[in-house]
Amino acid sequence: MAYKYVVVDQEGPVTTVTLNRPEVMNALHSDAHFELDEVFNAFAADQSQWIAIVTGAGERAFSAGNDLKVQAAGGRRGSPPSGFAGLTSRFDLNKPVIAAVNGVAMGGGFEIALACDLIIASETAVFALPEPRVGLAALAGGLHRLPRQIGLKRAMGMILTGRRVSAREGLELGFVNEVTPPGELMAAARRWAVLIAECSPMSIRASKQAVLKGLDEPSVEAALNGQNRYDAVAALYSSEDFIEGPLAFSQRRPPQWKGR
């Protein structure tokens, strides 16, 4: 399907989603959010697609966040139930998503990256939640995800100042997984995707769901007691992969994952 604000490519089990508004540093408006909602709905439903990579078109930006010029001009406002970029409120997506941050990730752009499971960043990447500087607040998940990912005091140091953080500092703070030269970013993101694809997609989905839901529990004991109620865990137990993995190990051969 052809999209206006997004480019979608598939290679094997990996879907690459490129935010495609480089003329405005991939800032997003309402129409783009709804288009991205369609993109991630399709990705979630496609059994042949196991992993997504999100990046930005051009060399300057991953995403500058909310398109304030469109908002100021009275353009259509709002986003789908799945949130900013069709992703920040998509809490039922158990397939892993990798952010390949190729430049500026500001405000909503940073919130998109924080909603992903891994962040691979170019050396030119810059992260910030600068909303208070323009009379707004990072209410698409940034105010909640950042403290959970790097700790309260470090997060508040970014949130209350709106300061910019380099890719290297992001790595030190703990929200970036790897920093690469600009020309190697997508290769690095695909390398991570390949490593994930070597594992059972059923196991990956069960693991992601157990981790994220477990973090909402008050204790490790409660998380352990609750994990067998998770649908991705139940799906793992009843899957062909649950049999194939031990069988392949016993036969000393690579497993042939089905993702079901």
Which residues form the catalytic set? 111, 131
Instruction: Confirm if 66 and 32 have CB atoms less than 8 A apart.
Output: no
| C-beta neighbour count of 55 within 10 angstroms | 23
Q: What SS3 class is residue 251?
A: coil
Q: How far is 45 from 55, CA to CA, in rounded Å?
A: 21
Q: How far is 205 from 119, CA to CA, in rounded Å?
A: 18
Cα torsion 130, 132, 134, 137: sign = positive
- Tell me which residue has tokens 């540093």: 25
User: Of 111, 108, 88, 113, nearest to 37 (Cα)?
Assistant: 88
